[in-house]
């Protein structure tokens, strides 16, 4: 069973301190994508689900593109208004912040 929580995400970011920003963003997006797959499978099986707060946490710390891809590919949470609106907003905000802080 895979359970992603804030501690795991924080540990990944601490561990990725020596790895470039690109690799850490790629890693957190893979985690976001896999989390959506896992949550979809658990929903189909009627078992324990990944809390929405954890999915949003993964998106906020850099995995929003992975979460969005997982939503579309697995057709999961696509009718949930919070996800339809907030995940793209998070992506837009992350692009703006990236341009401000890394594109000087």
- Give tens-digit pLDDT for 7-35: 555 555 555 555 667 788 899 999 999 99
Residue 3 confidence (pLDDT) above 50:
no
Average pLDDT over residues 1-7: 48
* DSSP letter for each residue of 32-83: HHHHHHHHHHHHHHT-----HHHHHHHIIIIIHHHHHHHHHHHT-SSS-HHH
pLDDT at 1: 38
Average pLDDT over residues 2-7: 50
- Give tens-digit pLDDT for 48-97: 999 999 999 999 999 999 999 999 999 999 999 999 999 999 999 988 98
């Amino acid at each position: 069973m895979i359970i992603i929580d804030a501690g795991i995400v924080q540990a990944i970011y601490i561990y990725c301190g020596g790895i470039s920003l690109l690799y850490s963003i790629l890693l957190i997006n893979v985690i976001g994508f896999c989390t959506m797959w896992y949550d979809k499978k658990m929903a189909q099986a009627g078992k324990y689900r990944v809390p929405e707060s954890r999915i949003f946490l993964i998106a906020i710390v850099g995995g929003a593109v992975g979460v969005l891809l997982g939503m579309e590919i697995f057709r999961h949470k696509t009718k949930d208004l919070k996800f339809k609106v907030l995940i793209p907003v998070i992506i837009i905000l992350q692009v703006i912040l990236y341009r401000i802080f890394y594109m000087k």
